[in-house]
Amino acid sequence: MMFETAVFDLDGTLCDTIPDIAAAVNYGLGKLHLPQPLPREFDGFVGNGTDLMIQRALKEKYTPGRVLEVKEYYKEYYANHYDVYTKAYKGMPECIRALKERGLKLAVVTNKIDFISATVVEKYYGVGLFDIIIGQKPGAPLKPDPTVTLDVLSRLNANPKTTAFIGDSDVDIQTGINAGVTPIGVSWGYRDRECQQNAGAKLFADSADGLFEILTK
């Protein structure tokens, strides 16, 4: 099956962003003199939006008010330190360019805060490769709700039958299923294959080359 449209998750799929995300959240926690989780604990915190990520990082210190306080520090710090340790996954920029050359419509739908999402993507993938980049916006439901993804498909005039949603988590797999498109899991991100399989994934890529083959065969 030849796909005509590919929608990508960002964190854990296009870029390894955890070290900079962890540093930004821990900056906010430090400002409030609260315990700071280890960076790799954030593998289990991300995926469901910024508020829930911070709630998970707060652990037993969680209150709704603290989430808001940490979030403001997080946004301030992350906006200026999003590219200290972040990197594109091996082979993915080349994969995206090759897909673009094949004529695929490309988009990013992420639960990352919208104000920084396009900045991160364009820093590591360049400007113009993706037709649409959408992050978390006030009032818009987060993945796995399919609303934003369906809006992207409408804007791209994409056929769900020839569209794939590519991501590293159960949230992404569920998003693809909920949107009526083909979900494709990747093994290099923050959730393991079993997690994605339990969410309904049937297709997996273990490398950028493998992903390109799935999308273009």
Query: Catalytic residue positions?
Result: 9
CB 196 within 8 A of CB 204: yes
First vs last Cα of the chain: how many Å apart? 6
Classify 70 as helix, strand or coil: helix
Query: Which of 73, 101, 92 minimizes the C-alpha distance to 10?
Result: 92
**Which amino acid, residue 20?**
D
CA distance 188 to 30: 30
CA distance 171 to 62: 23
Dihedral of alpha carbons 32, 38, 41, 47, sign: positive
Half-sphere exposure of 152 (CA within 13 A, CB side): 29
The DSSP code sequence of 184-198 is EEESSSSS-HHHHHH
My answer on whether omega of the bond before 183 falls inside 30° of 0, hence cis, is no
> What is the total residue count of the chain?
217
Helices 18-31/50-58 angle, 10° precision: 60
